Structure 1
Amino acid sequence: MLSKIGNKIIDHHLVNSLLNVSMGIEIERMRSDQSGNMKLTPHPDGAGSPFTNPWITKDYLESMTEIVTPALNDLDSLHFDYALTRVLRRVLPDGELLWPLSMPAILPKKKDKSLLAIEPPEKQAYFESICERYGITRGAPCGVHINFSIEDAVLECLVNNSDAELADIVTVRNNIYPNIAQGFIKYRWLLTYLFGASPVAQQNYFDKVAGPEKPIRSIRQSHFGFIDSFDVDYSSVDKYVDKILTAFENGEIAGVAEFHGSVRFRGGKELDALKTDGVKYLELRMFDLDPTEDVSIKTTTLRFVRLLIAYFMMTDGDKLSGDIIKQLDEADQKNDRVALESPDEHCEYENEAKALINNLRSFTNQLELGPEYLEVIDMVTDWIDHPTHTISGQLLPQIKDNSLLEYGLKQANRFQSDALAGKYVFNGFKTGDGKLSVSELKQDLFNGIWDAK
């Protein structure tokens, strides 16, 4: 099962370094009023300037807030998410809430450019071009983005102890990250089954285009959901870059950022730099907000992602070969089929899911990764056996009149009350531009309560 790379990681005692990937989390949440309507007010003043604050900002719509954590281990990133979200909730005007679901709060009947985020001219023009191309609703669903990078010690070991094909750090990065990306795209359908959490849309989302006739696992992850502008080639970094740049040159997209695929290769400011400097980290974009959690994602979800990263990197069993584009296209079709399933329905690809989980259990036991990973595997096994235990399965009984309005408001108010009950109040963004370093943010945000490494 283990690949050459996997054996080298074991031989040089770097399994723990591989598992200790740096993770940064981006959480998009919409602001709503107490009736579940999308707020049309400006970004809250107490959150600092959204143009300069790297930790609390906004996205496509003025109402769409975004929390961005530093890249640390998963538990530390979640604590930053927790603390920053509390800061944001505390500076919301009276009556405002953070809507906890991926599908937006109730949109106004008139959905035009007036809802777009107020931005500097260049970015404003970009958002307006997106709006003209896809409309407001396709960019309105919110989600969780997970950014991760492999420890330098692991990459340097592969450079120093591999054959000529991995002779330098750029070659290693551009060999490893596409393989991991392919693994996540191949099994995106399983992540949608487990963590999909957008079974219905609220009022005014589907008004001209018909939506699903019944609750499904994930509107956001289906063809009804978030913008899916075009397909790229994940078989290599060069082909990935060339496909996006060609689409831009041909006018298919307004900018390279318009590629909204489920996985992005990330590096320098210019896309072309990925070829020469290598991929620095991957961005996973296939996770709905988990409305059962204050922080919108579970610790166990992040741990499962971490396990998959190690598995895709260290084993050969699930690596793609041959016509990779065709296989990934088929994986996208499988994901759509799973996204459209009823939340209480067994997955069409249940046997494949169980085969992967069995491989993950063998991998975990062979490397003796510890009880925390076996706990996650047991949880996922239970969810595969019992669809009602998945997040969308838990939401299904909460749906009333094809809406999660009552549930969404209940959760939003509970999370808001919890935030206001905290004793320590951070005011670091109320003056200035919010440009705090990671160390400054850590000191002021946690006040000794949490010691992020």
Structure 2
Amino acid sequence: MATCLSLTDMLSGFSSADRLSSLRGIRRGLEREALRITPEGRLSMQDHPAGLGAALTHSHITTDYAESMMEFITPASDSMESLLNQLGDIHRHALRHLGQERLWPLSMPCFIGDQTPIRLAQYGHSNEGRVKTLYRQGLHHRYGSLMQVISGVHYNFSMPDSFWSEWQEIQAAKCQCKRFISDGYMGLIRNVYRFGWLVPYLFGASPALCSSFLNGRPTSLPFQSLGKGTLYLPYATSLRLSDLGYTNKAQSVLSINHDNLASYVGSVRRALHTSAPEFAAIGVKEGDEYRQLNDKVLQLENELYAPIRPKRSLRNGERTLCALERRGIEYIELRTLDVNPFSPLGVEAEQLRFLDLFLVWCLLRPSPALDEAEMARNRRNLNKVVLEGRRPGLQLESERGELSLRDWGEQLFDELALVAELLDKAYGRIQYQLTLQQHRAWLRDPSLTLSARLLDTLLAGELDNGVLGRQLAERYGQQLLEEPLRFWDEEYFAEEATASLAKQADIEAADHLSFDDFLSHYLAR
């Protein structure tokens, strides 16, 4: 058994000269979602641009829920500069194939009159591609399409192998390395559930939305009106993360266990085999037409709407849970970042440095098991922050009773400062301490946060969300189109597009099962 050490002990253990270097080499990856829009600010009705290759198999440019919803994916990198240059190049290259279309720069979608124009993403006629589209068809029937075209940025994070070797030695842990690493990442995940409200407080950027998003649905939220059709909450940080955004009420009865990887996999697998009456009422198939993959609480693992997920790179034909069981956790995916409207890429370097710091702190800090009462408290805290995180004197629920967001945040920043000092010592610079100093100012002055800056921009100009979104989309589009590629070149992207089309053709040619049989085998894996 590993010894449970305090944060101070862990920092002391890594401070020695021979261990500091093990903290270098943090690996990061980004996934940025963005809707394609017309010059008028409407959702694009066009197919995924053929010149970009096949969305099914392209390494960097695919689609998410809708045919118009692009997803840009970087490889993992231990260089922040390379990571952002790669993300920028993907944007620059994609925009050169969009004609007059632009990328929507906000998390909450543009004007959508109703759900009918939202076309499900298409991945060709292979069984594999049809499963991906059918999964999205199921999401449409279960939750409606509007929720699915909300955009975000996912941050993939992992520590280098050298870190885990040194930590295992510090803790005198005798267990298998794969299990030790997975246990460490599960501890990080538990602490993100405890303290993750800090991320939308700082980086939430969706305090307002187009009234078309409600689609006539009643809401008890005390929205205020702006312009011709914008609704906002004066202290909201991230409506994207509220019950208006990603939610699955059927999942509220689940008890996803985060004690260790085996417990997590087991509880998610139960959800994949638990029927949900409301989804059974939809029906799986009508005549020859499928309506969803199945009637379970989760059609697939990806339907679990969690703020953070354990991840493992997949091998050909492999399911997520199987990969985790076989080879353990490789990295974690943080999913609570709104699209940053003040960046052409939807995210900035200072945000990523803060997330590095926050996640390393969550990893090194003690992380006891979560019970149902604490998970419920964590959910209430997150909901308060996304709906009214900038409200003066807002109280959150800590293990010691109610505490103001400001006071609790100051306590957390005091601990983060110790980790920032350690990371800067390892890297031979003071960037993490400067990042922490900048965001501590945001904690003390909510008007500096992204959500406040966005809302101030809307109110000062009496702008609708849609007007501002179109202005930013055009500005960023022109800026990125004028910039040269910085990491790759056009030949690289041309080869990737050609290779992706060939891969899709190979997949389609290799099909030998009927779709019914393929689906049965796929879900049984």
Match of 1:50 among 52, 55, 69: 55
**1:403–1:188: structure 2 CA closer, same or farther, 3 Å change rule?**
farther
**1:382–1:118: structure 2 CA closer, same or farther, 3 Å change rule?**
same
Q: Is 1:168 the equivalent of 2:176?
A: yes
1:287, distance to aligned residue in structure 2 (A): 0.4
1:18, distance to aligned residue in structure 2 (A): 2.5
SS in 1 for 2:212: coil
Match of 1:265 among 310, 316, 320: 310
Match of 2:38 among 2, 8, 33: 33
**1:328–1:23: structure 2 CA closer, same or farther, 3 Å change rule?**
same
Does structure 1 retain, via aligned residues, the 8 Å contact 2:63–2:70? yes
The corresponding residue for 2:522 is none
**1:403–1:23: structure 2 CA closer, same or farther, 3 Å change rule?**
same
State the TM-score, normalizing by the size of structure 1: 0.88
Match of 1:410 among 453, 463, 471: 471
Does structure 1 retain, via aligned residues, the 8 Å contact 2:208–2:455? no
Alpha-carbon distance in 1 for matches of 2:33, 2:299:
22
**Aligned 1:372-411 pairs, distance under 5 A:** 372-399=431-458, 403-411=464-472
The corresponding residue for 2:399 is none
Match of 2:409 among 336, 344, 353: 353
The corresponding residue for 2:195 is 187
The corresponding residue for 1:117 is 121
1:430, distance to aligned residue in structure 2 (A): 4.5
Does structure 1 retain, via aligned residues, the 8 Å contact 2:32–2:71? yes
The corresponding residue for 1:446 is none
**1:160–1:121: structure 2 CA closer, same or farther, 3 Å change rule?**
same
**1:5–1:397: structure 2 CA closer, same or farther, 3 Å change rule?**
closer
Does structure 2 retain, via aligned residues, the 8 Å contact 1:58–1:65? yes
1:310, distance to aligned residue in structure 2 (A): 2.1
Alpha-carbon distance in 1 for matches of 2:385, 2:416:
21
Does structure 2 retain, via aligned residues, the 8 Å contact 1:238–1:275? yes
Does structure 1 retain, via aligned residues, the 8 Å contact 2:33–2:69? yes
The corresponding residue for 1:442 is none
Alpha-carbon distance in 2 for matches of 1:90, 1:346:
47
1:45, distance to aligned residue in structure 2 (A): 2.0
1:55, distance to aligned residue in structure 2 (A): 0.5
1:312, distance to aligned residue in structure 2 (A): 2.2
1:435, distance to aligned residue in structure 2 (A): 4.2
**Aligned 1:129-144 pairs, distance under 5 A:** 129-144=138-153
Q: Is 1:243 the equivalent of 2:267?
A: yes
The letter for the 2-side match of 1:362 is L
Alpha-carbon distance in 1 for matches of 2:74, 2:55:
15
The corresponding residue for 2:299 is 254
RMSD of aligned alpha carbons:
2.4
Does structure 2 retain, via aligned residues, the 8 Å contact 1:27–1:145? yes
CA deviations 1:376-404 (Å, max 9, x no partner) are 11111111111111000001122266831
The corresponding residue for 2:381 is 334
Match of 1:362 among 414, 418, 434: 418
The corresponding residue for 2:96 is 90
SS in 2 for 1:220: helix
**Superposed structure 1 runs of 4+ greater than 6 Å apart:** none
The letter for the 1-side match of 2:57 is T
Q: Which moved more, 1:407-416 or 1:200-209?
A: 200-209
**Aligned 1:221-240 pairs, distance under 5 A:** 221-228=241-248, 230=251, 232-240=256-264
Alpha-carbon distance in 2 for matches of 1:63, 1:5:
46
The letter for the 2-side match of 1:133 is R
Q: Which moved more, 1:176-185 or 1:416-425?
A: 416-425
Does structure 2 retain, via aligned residues, the 8 Å contact 1:40–1:63? yes
Q: How many residues align?
A: 430
SS in 1 for 2:29: strand
SS in 2 for 1:204: helix
The letter for the 2-side match of 1:413 is E
Alpha-carbon distance in 2 for matches of 1:224, 1:296:
21
The letter for the 2-side match of 1:69 is T
Alpha-carbon distance in 1 for matches of 2:418, 2:167:
24
The corresponding residue for 2:356 is 306
Does structure 2 retain, via aligned residues, the 8 Å contact 1:38–1:108? no
**1:48–1:14: structure 2 CA closer, same or farther, 3 Å change rule?**
farther
The letter for the 2-side match of 1:233 is N
Match of 1:105 among 86, 106, 110: 110
Alpha-carbon distance in 2 for matches of 1:274, 1:423:
39
The letter for the 2-side match of 1:66 is E
Q: Which moved more, 1:84-93 or 1:397-406?
A: 397-406
Match of 1:198 among 199, 206, 214: 206
1:60, distance to aligned residue in structure 2 (A): 0.3
SS in 2 for 1:217: coil
Does structure 1 retain, via aligned residues, the 8 Å contact 2:308–2:332? yes
Q: Is 1:66 the equivalent of 2:75?
A: no
Gaps of 5+ in 2: 1-5, 124-128, 225-231, 275-295, 396-404, 501-525
Does structure 2 retain, via aligned residues, the 8 Å contact 1:37–1:105? yes
1:326, distance to aligned residue in structure 2 (A): 2.7
CA deviations 1:6-41 (Å, max 9, x no partner) are 444334733443253100100000111122111111
SS in 2 for 1:91: coil
**Aligned 1:427-438 pairs, distance under 5 A:** 428-430=492-494, 433-435=497-499
Fraction of identical pairs, as percent: 23
The letter for the 1-side match of 2:239 is I
The letter for the 2-side match of 1:39 is S
Does structure 1 retain, via aligned residues, the 8 Å contact 2:205–2:339? yes
The letter for the 2-side match of 1:433 is A
Match of 1:288 among 327, 338, 343: 338
CA deviations 1:288-319 (Å, max 9, x no partner) are 00010011111111101111222222333xx3
**1:19–1:183: structure 2 CA closer, same or farther, 3 Å change rule?**
farther
Alpha-carbon distance in 2 for matches of 1:72, 1:134:
35
